[in-house]
Amino acid sequence: MSNSAANLRHKIASASDLQGVVKTMKALAASSIGQYEKSISSLTDYYRAVELGLSASLRDDMSFQFSPQPENINESRVGVIIFGSDQGLVGQFNESITDFAIKALSNETQPPLIWVVGARAASRLTDAGFNLVKVYTVPVSVHDIDTLVRQIQIDSESSLILNPGCGVLVFYNQPKQGALYECVSQRLLPLDEQWRDDFKNILWPTKALPEVLCKHSTTIRALIREYIFISLYRACAESLVSENSSRLGAMQRAEKNIEELLDKLSSEFNTLRQSTIDEELSDVLAGYELLNKID
């Protein structure tokens, strides 16, 4: 019986230690969600400024030439940027986004150029038979997102130079109200006539229209670079919010399971302890009655 009690004590201690780890991970996930949400919110005004700048520049310069489309679009390769995670305990986070991307790429006739953020998402894509151009480490703070996005821009532009007219798709998990996240995609490139018309139709907020001081092409190209940077930055930040929301949900479920396990183990321990006490009392009473009979 002592061995059973010792075994239960060990299980209770182990579950309590695990509960402490889970609570710490919950706190870290909640803290991370807050900082990434603030970074997304801070992009709003900046994106609006870039959006208005592109609107004014494109409206003022109708002759700007975008990247030429390939003669046979069915034979062109597509560039793909996928945001996943490096760490586990995130539920179906990586499975959802990789399955979503694989389904979207199923009709491509040429093997896509794939850049992946997150070793776990990269592993699933490799297992599915895709060759990856490069795998990046997931940022661990807001300050690391800027470095990652600029590196992706440099690496992808180098490859796209060899594949003129190549389109670029971005896949990531986007946080949603009432649910942890949903899988979304964004066509980042090419910037075609439809893209230009959408920006040209954005109204300037005042009656005083702006004037482009330097060369229109230089201004437009600089604004396009910022537009691409913001799009990738937001995709990364939203993916990180979704990842930590998924982790927070997983930790909440784990904490509930641990609490239920601790209640069960404590109940078993108390039952065993009470049973041991009852047996000891029975032995004492039996001995007392035996002594009385002898007397």
Q: Are both 99 and 111 inside the same structural domain?
A: yes
Q: Are both 149 and 87 inside the same structural domain?
A: yes
Residue 116 sits at φ, ψ, to 5 deg, of -125, 135
Q: Are both 178 and 285 inside the same structural domain?
A: no
Q: What is the pLDDT of residue 216?
A: 64
Q: Are both 278 and 173 inside the same structural domain?
A: no
How many structural domains compose the chain? 2
Residue 23 inside a domain? The answer is: no
Going residue by residue through the chain (295 aa), what tens digit of pLDDT does each one get? 455 778 888 888 888 888 888 888 888 888 888 899 998 988 888 888 888 888 887 776 655 555 555 555 445 788 999 999 998 888 899 999 999 999 999 888 888 999 999 999 999 999 999 999 999 999 999 999 999 999 999 988 877 655 656 789 999 999 987 668 999 999 888 777 777 777 777 888 888 777 776 666 778 888 888 999 999 999 999 999 999 998 888 888 888 888 888 888 888 888 877 777 767 667 666 666 666 766 5
Q: Are both 164 and 45 inside the same structural domain?
A: yes
Q: Are both 9 and 61 inside the same structural domain?
A: no
Place of tokens 């990586």: 94
**Residue 187, both tokens:** 């066509």
Q: Are both 209 and 164 inside the same structural domain?
A: yes
Q: Are both 232 and 275 inside the same structural domain?
A: no
Q: Are both 155 and 285 inside the same structural domain?
A: no
Residue 205 inside a domain? The answer is: yes
Residue 188 inside a domain? The answer is: yes
Q: Are both 124 and 12 inside the same structural domain?
A: no
Residue 22 inside a domain? The answer is: no
Residue 233 inside a domain? The answer is: yes
Using CA atoms, how far apart are residues 100 and 128, in angstroms rounded to an integer?
Answer: 13
Using CA atoms, how far apart are residues 282 and 198, in angstroms rounded to an integer?
Answer: 87
CB 190 within 8 Å of CB 67: yes
Give the structural domain span for 140: 28-248
